[in-house]
Chains A and B, each alone.
Chain A
Amino acid sequence: MKITLHVWRQKDVNSVGKMQRREVNDISQDMSFLEMLDKVNEDIIIEGGEPIAFDHDCREGICGMCSMMINGRAHGPDDGTTTCQLHMRSFQDGDAIHIEPFRARAFPVVRDLVVDRSSFDRIVQAGGFISANTGGCQDANSQLIPKIDSDLAMDAAACIGCGACVASCPNGSAMLFVAAKMGHLANLPQGQPERYTRARNMITQMDAEGFGACSNHYECEASCPKDIPVTFIGDMNRDVLKANTCSSAK
């Protein structure tokens, strides 16, 4: 296959970036998208240029490190797929492919396609945990948890923290990410004691990081590589409302 790449190049956070065009030959349909970029980088290095910086690690769709907009869609054209799981067979010979970083106010560009998503960590640090110190826990089977609850918690916990939801949202909102974290813990009995303080603190931090609010576009759900549904946002809003209004949730 032959393709024409248009890739965002930016030296660092303070530099101005631009799209750079490059013709690429000899691409096999069986290559993954990142293997295509590996090959492009190999060529660039041999020519004496500087390779395209992009984040990646596990290359099997679980670490959430890979992050790019491909033809305007986070992680590219396939549903429920991370960039690293995307294969060139999803493209046609002669296609033009535009690659940009995940853009959002809260995700500054570090270099080329690499962005800084540490805001997600800070949101979790604000309350996305259960305060169980190591040691002294009761037997794991001493508390029954209905299968539907633990399955629902797992649906939410499948979030890989990639940030596709933010990059796809016209408001740069992190609501799906935050709702997934809260939904994971709120559906388990262990998560109840801190449920409402967690909701309050995580939302406050989310706002402080400069993420926008949700106005029901649902682009996040459409681009989520783990198919996390927006219903978790509804659940989260209810918890936040309760946390802010009901004395029982203070």
Chain B
Amino acid sequence: MAFNLDSKTPEGPLADKWTNHLFNMKLVNPANKRKFNVIVVGSGLAGASAAASLSELGYSVDCFCFQDTPRRAHSIAAQGGINAAKNYPNDGDSVRRLFYDTIKGGDYRAREANVYRLAEVSNSIIDQCVAQGVPFARDYGGLLDNRSFGGAQVSRTFYARGQTGQQLLIGAYQALSKEIAKGGVTMHTRTEMLDVVTVDGQAKGIITRDLVSGEIKRHAADAVLLCTGGYSNVFYLSTNAMGSNVTAAFRAHKKGAGFANPCYTQIHPTCIPVSSEHQSKLTLMSESLRNDGRVWVPKSKSDGRPPADIPEDERDYYLERRYPSFGNLVPRDVASRAAKERCDEGFGVGESGLAVYLDFADAIERLGEDTIRARYGNLFQMYEKITAENPYKVPMRIFPAVHYTMGGLWVDYNLQTTVPGLFALGECNFSDHGANRLGASALMQGLADGYFVAPYTVSNYLGEHGEMQADKKVTTTHPAFDEAEAAVVARTERLMAVNGTQSIDSFHKRLGLIMWDNCGMGRTKETLTKALEEIPKLREEFWNDVRIPGDDKEFNIEVEKANRVADFLEFAETMCLDALTREESCGGHFREEHQSADGEAQRDDENFAVASVWEYKGEGERPELSLEQLEFENVKLTTRSYK
């Protein structure tokens, strides 16, 4: 059965939609709010802000994360900054412009109304964060400072040194802590969600595994919010934290939540290149570095000279050459592909030839080393720790790496998935970034969803569908919970029973390679077809030969990993299928068959101005595709040009 993909976008002019919707939504009487229990899975920016805000309103909230404390969610690692349309620098920014840049940056594959709302609430986020004590950078007059990010010609990015994500997350974590202390939120750390429980098609709870004791538990609720982040780790090597996973979203997908545009992955242009086969993760060097760093490669192939010996006129500043108006600040997808193109042509630097230079010499000369240190000190230090090279003296070597996933659970305007009562927030949903996310927009989206959207739309759902009477509520004794728990237990037992010879990591690495080679920066029908043949074989091998040591009824990191890798092995296939089906290039999805003569992505708006939403049909079965037609009433679809 195809999905009913009604986006529930409110009527009226773009700028009035959210205001009208706010007025039309149902409210819940303050005295009744505590009768509703809301589950929030995830404590990153999206989860922590949603859990705190819902608790402030009076709902009784249970919040879950797999780390030992909510403050360690992957959001903590974001470096560069968060966008908002404040126009403090007086350089011509506005809600409309932020909206436009985001739609265009996403290569016209996002829903207009959602993106407009994001731009609209962006300013409140900054106000909120400052009130919480987030120490954003300031100028000498005491006002907030801004920097530029890719894909924009205004300075609208707020930052806290190179640790913006950390500071925003600590702000949200403090708000969450305040609510935990009040008793409004019960926090469940070191707990992994393994299933969503639905009753009559509505989300009514979750099944979890306590990662310390191994105990499987049931939790009932009136609504469930998934704020569980992105799935970049399907590539094994990515800039995401080691524990980032698709498990929560995929298990929800199995229970009926549509998965939208899984093939949209963002490959970030400025990461430290892979150096050895033992590498466990890749490290991002924030995009903000492109404010002052210049990207170049030698003009002659396989030029072996050290960078300092290569004279100015023998360097190719290829971004400035190809894109004179945006220069080093073109969007990520464009910058990544340009780097790949140079390296494929043999101009790459470093031992592997899979790197380009990011050079600060000019900026240091112009601004002085101290200014550069104040702006990027911790990033330079991080670079030096990993590579043992001093970037104040020699240019950084960088290469693209998997970083973010624009695809995710399909949600309507209310952030509700195709399962009533199940919401998805932050990177976990597909909502705002189309086929390519602009820098500093993920933090904005996570906090927009959590602080300023979900509190209203979840209230609306509870006001309309929530059961207020205690004796009529679904409890954990409902047969749906028995069934879901039994399925989780059976799956774990099946995993433990394999008792094979190969480690989980070895499977994860192999899957990552298949994905990077065939569904990475450039994809073709041929590579994707190949991946679709290889993944099921690898999955079968996994289920026949994986080894999970120890017992699942105790603290066992391998059981955690096994569950996640098993899901990646299934999910990867949907990703490749989606990439194969989308016969166009757009944003981060670059089908090599579809490019212009000068190598730019070629969209097909006539056939693919759609969100592709997949419905799970069973392991190894082909998922069913439904389409949400994207209507553009306020922007004109043009070929993106940053020239």
Residues of A within 8 A of B (CB): 11-12, 28, 30-32, 34-35, 38-39, 42, 44-46, 48-51, 53, 55-65, 78, 80-81, 85, 87, 89, 110-111, 114, 116-118, 120-121, 124-126, 128-135, 137-141, 143-147, 150-151, 153-154, 157-158, 160-161, 184-185, 188, 190-191
**Closest Cβ of chain B: how far from A226's Cβ, in Å?**
9
Known: A30-B275, A45-B503, A137-B124. A65 touches B131 (CB 8 A): no
In contact, A60 and B555 (Cβ under 8 angstroms): no
Among B142-185, those with CB < 8 Å from A are 142-144, 160-161, 163, 165-167, 170, 173-175, 177-178, 180-181
Contact partners of B241 in chain A: CB under 8 A: 57-59, 63
Among B350-407, those with CB < 8 Å from A are 381-382, 385-386, 388
Contact partners of A78 in chain B: CB under 8 A: 385
Contact partners of A114 in chain B: CB under 8 A: 555
**Chain A binding surface SS class:** loop
- Of A39, A65, A129, the residue contacting B174 (CB under 8 A) is A129
In contact, B133 and A190 (Cβ under 8 angstroms): yes
In contact, B386 and A157 (Cβ under 8 angstroms): no
In contact, B68 and A134 (Cβ under 8 angstroms): no
In contact, A137 and B555 (Cβ under 8 angstroms): no
Known: A38-B278, A134-B53, A137-B131. A50 touches B549 (CB 8 A): yes
Known: A38-B505, A153-B133. A128 touches B174 (CB 8 A): yes
In contact, A49 and B68 (Cβ under 8 angstroms): no
Q: How far is the CA of A57 from the CA of B173 in the complex (A)?
A: 17
**With A57-B241, A117-B68, A134-B49 given, can you name 16 additional A-B contacts, CB distance below 8 Å?**
A51-B549, A58-B74, A58-B241, A62-B165, A63-B241, A121-B69, A132-B131, A137-B131, A141-B143, A143-B130, A144-B141, A144-B143, A150-B137, A154-B135, A161-B69, A184-B133
B550 is an interface residue with CB less than 8 A from chain A: yes
**Closest Cβ of chain B: how far from A154's Cβ, in Å?**
4
Q: How far is the CA of A65 from the CA of B77 in the complex (A)?
A: 12
Contact partners of A57 in chain B: CB under 8 A: 67, 72, 74, 241-243
Give the interface segment out of B279-287, B426-434, B518-526. Answer: B279-287
Closest to A86 in B: B385
Q: How far is the CA of A135 from the CA of B129 in the complex (A)?
A: 10
Closest to A145 in B: B142
Which of B131, B140, B501 has most chain A Cβ within 10 Å?
Answer: B131
**Closest Cβ of chain A: how far from B159's Cβ, in Å?**
11
**Closest Cβ of chain B: how far from A111's Cβ, in Å?**
4
Q: How far is the CA of A110 from the CA of B165 in the complex (A)?
A: 28
In contact, A131 and B74 (Cβ under 8 angstroms): no
B128 is an interface residue with CB less than 8 A from chain A: yes
- Of A55, A128, A190, the residue contacting B177 (CB under 8 A) is A128
Known: A12-B554, A65-B72, A121-B69. A32 touches B280 (CB 8 A): yes
Contact partners of A63 in chain B: CB under 8 A: 67, 72, 74, 76-77, 241
Number of interface residues of B (CB under 8 A): 81
A and B contact pairs by CB, cutoff 8 A, 21 listed: A30-B276, A38-B280, A42-B503, A51-B557, A60-B284, A61-B382, A62-B77, A65-B68, A85-B385, A89-B388, A120-B69, A125-B178, A126-B181, A129-B174, A129-B175, A134-B49, A145-B138, A147-B142, A150-B136, A150-B137, A157-B160
Contact partners of A44 in chain B: CB under 8 A: 549
Q: How far is the CA of A57 from the CA of B132 in the complex (A)?
A: 26
Q: How far is the CA of A185 from the CA of B161 in the complex (A)?
A: 17
- Of A39, A45, A118, A185, the residue contacting B278 (CB under 8 A) is A39
**Closest Cβ of chain B: how far from A66's Cβ, in Å?**
10
Closest to A28 in B: B276
Which of B67, B74, B177 has most chain A Cβ within 10 Å?
Answer: B177
Contact partners of A129 in chain B: CB under 8 A: 132, 174-175, 177-178
In contact, A53 and B557 (Cβ under 8 angstroms): yes
Q: How far is the CA of A236 from the CA of B129 in the complex (A)?
A: 24
Q: How far is the CA of A45 from the CA of B550 in the complex (A)?
A: 10
B309 is an interface residue with CB less than 8 A from chain A: no
